[in-house]
């Protein structure tokens, strides 16, 4: 049995363990304890129960935690510090023991290794094989082009590498550079890296908290923790300890590293530094999070492996067949195998996909979406679930008065945010505020008892001060109250204090002196004796006001009350003046309301088969109400962080199927939710703006960060950044992502039949004992010119009309469905038949191999030209004006390719290089006729598929 012992404040080598617990414990019986859901194993050789700097928690005999659940005096004693602060000797000893207050540098891969890893891809291997083959053939121009594509792709990937390291560096930058501390009784300013456990830190408005602190003393201290907890308003702090089970956002006695003091002053003792802070813990999570490949890359990898194996097997079988059954030499069959490999490998497909994704990036940039990683374009179009933060994404992160309650009833206030635009209504009917005295009085009082400043900057309104007071300023502007205090002068004030829960201001005009007080409804009600009615002051109706307070609270609103008291001439306000005699003017119902465009965007996503999950650090009541207004959830069910912790992984997987609103969520909760959704087979997009969102952003299939109000850590952990912080832009990006995937599918659907047709012609000729209709060099020519002209035009295809009314693609489905695979086979057979048929016709008529091969090559290219029109729509017909002329780049590509083919056919240097010959008009007519026939046959196949699909849909409805 081992007792937990402490140390004296003057100890040279401090050991910050507590000795206050009455019962010794046997650490051999303790296997692990939980810190925010992460199980940490205690080494058996430890002889003390450690004070854990992580999140300021420490294990005591019953497994509870000390820093936020224990009185200040006990925390101070356990840390070995008194009111004078630490001595220099203690500081040096603790620096040696615990290290500096900084996050560990991320482990970076060397530049050579990072660059080499860019080539670790099946399609890149295929490209390199193609380069080797073309080099063996002596076609150095094509070799240079292929190698150039590979190197460019590697350079792009190399530049985009290191996203996690950048995110960790951004978290590192959140540590405060300087800190004011009290040491040996003196206040000194030091580098924040030199802070140690037990240091006394002084905080003032505007300071960034330099380490995790247990607050000791404070005056009106408010801290913006939105980057860490998602709380939409600054948190009023208190030195009083809270329950051991309190969530991060409810630990009012702690100040977290990286958060910002918005108001007041405070003194706290350091309970965690560096990696042991809350931000440091998130940094560890970020390093440990496994980054997933995108759905497209996973499917392309599978497709590439399948294609490589199939090409090798077919080439091997062809060589064996030709040598043993046809009697060809090994050297001759090797050349045939080389031609077959060149035909089968789509050399330009990776480059074509990269260009298509890059065009998607450009399109998204025009719709307020910056893409940091190319494959994320398609990934966003593949999502089945969007996990979104509430504050700043679905809402404006600007508090708004939505209700004003007077003795006459409830006035609804229109508009959102700090922009002073919005109408007023009473029982559904519009009202004019200036003609409604009670409404005017409430708005005027909110303006008078206010320290915030609201200014217009360009098209935006900017607030300096408390968000709640900003909402009251906006209300006064909407009502039409004179912003210059309406002819009054403020002579004194009592600032808001958490223990008083009110703010009071003293005013005078030409003939009167009066006090205005606003604050917590129960506090203001206790001060009030009467209420302002239409005919004058009347007896206070407690039941009336209590009912409205509860109704607003049920809607997730923050409620403030405001009252007024006429007084004799006063020079200063004292607490004695707040004891009673006030006239209650009314209540404000305040909330950060949903963006109007977000409501429509959520509905559009749901119509597209995408589920929306709202994950917020805010309170459950607020989350449910906002979710109901947005169409997320049912307004009744919301799981809190504490409830999530009670669920094992299997129960959580079921919960995420049924629940759409999650409140009071910590970084661990967000990460678990993303993993649970992915375990259910979902493709998940995660939005966020705070450092607490970074691990989940990195783990998600697509991380979407806020560009305006988001932290650097969130942006660096994400693939996509929204420049307007608006959920509407996510919906637009989903549309562009779906369009991009459609275009990639169309490009693959167009490219593969070309390769299939080329390979099929060679195999058919070998099986038939014929002369090769196309040489390997001619195949390379066809692949090169068709992919850089025809294939590229599909990259700029506009969105199809039903792109946002389809259900999301099945994440488990292959990149080409069975129907599309059939299309590839069908068109390949048509190309084989037409190319081989025309070659055999020309050989029969003229017996000229060069001329016959020239006809075969042009037939293959003409078939691709007409099939390009088919490829514009996967299932819909293109035999209309929009289908034939809706993409001008298709027409440009066809015109360019015809010029190339004319040079290929008639230019003397091209004839010498590729072995071609002149052909006449009759031969061209047969070539064009084949192309037209191919296009019509594919359109007939599409019509049959549409009829089959419609028939199945009708049977399903019946």
Cα-based torsion angle of the residue sequence 775, 779, 781, 783 in order, rounded to the nearest 10 degrees: 180
Instruction: Give the residue among 835, 839, 863 at the shortest CA–CA distance from 851.
Output: 839
The terminus-to-terminus CA distance of the chain in angstroms comes to: 75
What DSSP letter does each residue of 139-154 carry, written as one string?
A: -HHHHHHHHHHHHHHH
How far is it, in rounded angstroms, from Cα 62 to Cα 229? 27
Contact 811, 682 (CB under 8 A): yes
φ and ψ of 178, to 5 deg: -130, 155
Whole-number Å distance between alpha carbons of 751 and 345 = 10
Handedness of CA 183, 187, 192, 197 (dihedral sign): positive
Do 814 and 299 meet the contact criterion of CB atoms below 8 Å apart? yes
Instruction: Please give the torsion angle defined by the CA atoms of residues 144, 146, 152 and 154, in that order, rounded to the nearest 10 degrees.
Output: -120
Nearest to 589 by CA among 392, 409, 413, 390: 413
Query: Alpha helices, DSSP H only, in 71-201?
Result: 72-79, 88-98, 111-117, 122-136, 140-160, 163-172
Tokens found for residue 473: 């300023």
DSSP collapsed to 3 states, 646-682: CCCHHHHHHHHHHCCEEECCCHHHHHHHHHHHHHCCC
Bridge partner list, 384: none
Tokens coding 625:
């109400």
Q: Which helix (H) or strand (E) holds 341?
A: helix 330-344
H or E segment and range at residue 562: strand 558-567
The tokens for 176 are 């405060």
How far apart CA 661 and CA 292 sit, in angstroms, is 25
Token look-up 């996909």 returns 353
Q: Cα(193)–Cα(203) distance, rounded to whole angstroms?
A: 16
d(CA 6, CA 14): 9
Contacts of 933 (CB under 8 A, 6+ apart): 834
How far apart are alpha carbons 97 and 654 in whole angstroms?
45
Secondary structure class of 678 (helix, strand, coil) = helix
Check 389, 592, 660, 742 and give the catalytic one: 389
Query: Any catalytic annotation for residue 650?
Result: no
Tokens 């094992």 appear where? 648
- Partners of residue 937 on adjacent β-strands: none
Active site (catalytic) residues: 389
């Amino acid at each position: 049995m081992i007792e937990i012992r402490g140390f004296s404040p003057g100890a040279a080598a401090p050991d910050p363990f507590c000795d206050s617990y009455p019962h010794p414990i046997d650490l051999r019986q303790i296997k692990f304890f939980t810190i925010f859901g992460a199980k940490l194993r205690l080494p058996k050789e430890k002889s003390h129960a450690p004070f854990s700097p992580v999140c300021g928690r420490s294990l005591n005999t019953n497994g509870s935690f000390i820093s936020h659940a224990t009185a200040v005096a006990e925390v101070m004693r356990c840390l070995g510090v008194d009111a004078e602060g630490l001595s220099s000797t203690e500081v040096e000893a603790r620096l040696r023991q615990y290290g500096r207050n900084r996050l560990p540098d991320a482990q970076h891969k060397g530049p050579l290794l990072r660059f080499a890893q860019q080539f670790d891809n099946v399609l890149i291997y295929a490209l390199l094989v193609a380069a080797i083959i073309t080099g063996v053939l002596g076609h150095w121009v094509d070799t240079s082009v292929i190698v150039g594509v590979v190197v460019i792709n590697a350079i792009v990937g190399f530049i985009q590498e290191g996203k996690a390291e950048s995110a960790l560096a951004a978290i590192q930058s959140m540590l405060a550079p300087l800190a004011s501390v009290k040491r040996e009784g003196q206040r000194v300013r030091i580098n924040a890296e030199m802070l140690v456990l037990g240091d006394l830190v002084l905080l003032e408005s505007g300071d960034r908290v330099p380490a995790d602190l247990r607050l000791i003393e404070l005056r009106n201290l408010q801290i913006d923790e939105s980057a860490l907890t998602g709380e939409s308003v600054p948190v009023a702090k208190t030195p009083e300890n809270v329950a051991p089970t309190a969530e991060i956002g409810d630990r009012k006695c702690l100040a977290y590293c990286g958060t910002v003091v918005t108001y007041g002053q405070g003194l706290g003792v350091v309970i965690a530094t560096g990696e042991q802070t809350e931000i440091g813990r998130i940094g560890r999570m970020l390093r440990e999070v496994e980054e997933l490949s995108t759905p497209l890359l996973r499917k392309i990898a599978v497709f590439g492996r399948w294609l490589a194996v199939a090409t090798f097997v077919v080439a091997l079988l062809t060589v064996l067949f030709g040598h043993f059954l046809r009697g060809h030499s090994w050297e001759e069959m090797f050349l045939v195998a080389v031609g077959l490999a060149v035909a089968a490998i789509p050399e330009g497909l990776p480059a074509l996909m990269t260009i298509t994704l890059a065009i998607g990036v450009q399109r998204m940039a025009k719709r307020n979406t910056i893409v940091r990683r190319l494959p994320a374009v398609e990934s966003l179009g593949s999502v089945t679930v969007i996990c979104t933060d509430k504050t700043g994404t679905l809402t404006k992160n600007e508090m708004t008065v939505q209700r004003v309650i007077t003795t006459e009833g409830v006035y609804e206030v229109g508009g959102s945010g700090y922009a002073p635009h919005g109408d007023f209504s009473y029982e559904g009917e519009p009202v004019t505020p200036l003609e409604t005295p009670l409404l005017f009085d409430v708005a005027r009082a909110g303006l008078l008892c206010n320290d915030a400043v609201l200014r217009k900057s360009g098209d935006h309104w900017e607030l300096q001060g408390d968000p709640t007071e900003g909402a009251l300023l906006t209300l006064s502007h909407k009502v039409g109250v004179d912003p210059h205090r309406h002819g009054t002068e403020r002579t004194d004030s009592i600032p808001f204090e958490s223990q008083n829960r009110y703010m009071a201001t003293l005013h005078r005009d030409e003939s009167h002196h009066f006090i205005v007080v606003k604050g917590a409804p129960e506090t203001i009600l206790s001060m009030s004796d009467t209420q302002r009615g239409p005919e004058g002051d009347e007896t206070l109706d407690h039941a009336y006001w209590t009912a409205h307070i509860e109704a607003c609270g049920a809607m997730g609103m923050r409620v403030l009350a405001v009252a007024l008291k006429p007084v004799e001439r006063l020079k200063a306000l004292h607490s004695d003046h707040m004891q009673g005699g006030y006239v209650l003017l009314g209540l404000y119902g305040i909330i950060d309301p949903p963006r109007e465009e977000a409501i429509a965007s959520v509905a559009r996503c749901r119509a597209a088969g995408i589920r929306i999950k709202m994950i917020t650090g805010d309170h459950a009541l607020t989350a449910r109400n906002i979710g109901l207004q947005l169409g997320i959830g049912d307004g009744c069910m919301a799981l809190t962080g504490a409830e999530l912790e009670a669920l094992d992984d299997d129960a959580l997987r079921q919960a995420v199927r049924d629940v759409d609103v999650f409140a009071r969520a910590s970084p661990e909760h967000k990460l678990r939710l993303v993993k649970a959704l992915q375990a259910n087979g979902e493709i998940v997009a995660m939005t966020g703006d705070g450092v607490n969102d970074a691990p989940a952003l990195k783990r998600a299939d697509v991380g979407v960060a806020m560009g305006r109000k988001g932290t650097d850590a969130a942006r660096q952990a994400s693939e996509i950044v929204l420049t307007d912080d608006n959920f509407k832009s996510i919906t637009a990006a989903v549309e562009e992502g779906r369009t991009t995937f459609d275009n990639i599918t169309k490009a693959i659907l167009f490219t593969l039949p070309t390769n299939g047709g080329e390979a099929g012609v060679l195999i058919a000729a070998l099986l038939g004992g014929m002369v090769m209709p196309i040489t390997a060099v001619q195949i390379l020519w066809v692949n090169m010119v068709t992919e850089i002209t025809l294939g590229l035009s599909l990259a700029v295809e506009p969105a199809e009309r039903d792109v946002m009314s389809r259900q999301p693609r099945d994440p488990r489905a292959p990149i080409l469905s069975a129907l599309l695979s059939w299309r590839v086979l069908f068109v390949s057979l048509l190309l084989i038949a037409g190319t081989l048929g025309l070659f055999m016709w020309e050989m029969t008529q003229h017996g000229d191999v060069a001329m016959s091969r020239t006809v075969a090559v042009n037939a293959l290219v003409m078939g691709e030209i007409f099939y390009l029109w088919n490829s514009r729509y996967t299932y819909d017909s293109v035999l209309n004006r929009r289908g034939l002329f809706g993409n001008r780049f298709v027409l440009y590509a066809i015109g360019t390719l015809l010029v190339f083919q004319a040079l290929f056919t008639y230019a003397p240097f091209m004839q010498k290089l590729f072995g071609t010959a002149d052909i006449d008009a009759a031969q061209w007519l047969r070539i064009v006729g084949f192309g037209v026939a191919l296009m019509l046959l594919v359109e007939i196949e599409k019509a049959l598929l549409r009829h089959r699909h419609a028939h199945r849909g009708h049977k399903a409805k019946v």
